[in-house]
Copies of this chain bind each other. A is one copy, B any other.
Amino acid sequence: MPEQSTCAPQPARTFSGSEKQALYDVIYARRDVRNEFKPDPIDEAALMRVLNAAHAAPSVGLSQPWNYILIRDQAVRGQVKEAFARANDEACAMFAEEKRSAYAALKLEGIEKAPLNICVTCDRTRGGEVVLGRAHNRDLDLYSTVCSVQNMWLAARAEGIGIGWVSIYHDADLRQILNVPEHVEIVAYLCVGYVDALFEKPELAARGWADIMDLGAVVMQETWNA
């Protein structure tokens, strides 16, 4: 039996103006990093803080379906880089001809430049046959895993560590390189390294690839009313 004290709500921590500002500053200073990684190895204590923050994410039915595969081996990262390069050539060819040279000029990964890669996976079987909250919406475990990635991203940023999410690869390639079994989904492949310079706005906006939308354009009242 859990102790009574743990089974009742307790007065909640409140946050001062400067604490709130620190959180907002981290949120707005976070970038998807491709090229600004420094080669310095990640401090182990900082890495543990970042991973613990990831592990403190919400998860459906408290299933904690994530795993974090830490990849430092150059040969493994070399194989991932090759898998990226093949897929990126295919992706480039999918764009309309007039966008291809702009696409090809973008650097979209730091797989070998960053000293650490982290593959974040979701074990679709964790928590057993029936997981509280997944009965009607099977993908909630994937969504939990993404919450963990975002916690990791913010914690890393506060530690001076940049993260770049690579999504250009064939799932089968990465699965084979990293020996990921069938029942486990690869959710995110992250490049991780210290940064001391970053773009002031999202790099794709800074480079004119896409524009930032106004918040007002994405908020609706009561029902969908586009």
Taking Cβ atoms with an 8 Å cutoff, the residues of A that contact B are: 1-2, 6-15, 18-20, 22-30, 32, 35-36, 48-49, 51-53, 55-58, 60-64, 66-73, 76, 87, 90-91, 94-96, 103, 106, 108, 121, 127, 130, 132-137, 139-140, 142-143, 146-147, 149-151, 153-155, 157-160, 165, 167-171, 177-181, 184, 187-188, 195-202, 204-213, 215, 218-226
Contacts and interface: CB of A to CB of B under 8 A. Distances in A.
B15 A28 contact: no
Given A9-B36, A9-B198, A179-B224, A167 B215 contact: no
Contacts of A64: 212-213, 218
Contacts of A168: 133, 135-137
Contacts of A221: 69-70
Contacts of A57: 150
Number of copies: 2
Contact of A198 (B12, B67, B169): B12
A170 B138 CA distance: 11
Nearest to A118: B219
B55 A94 contact: no
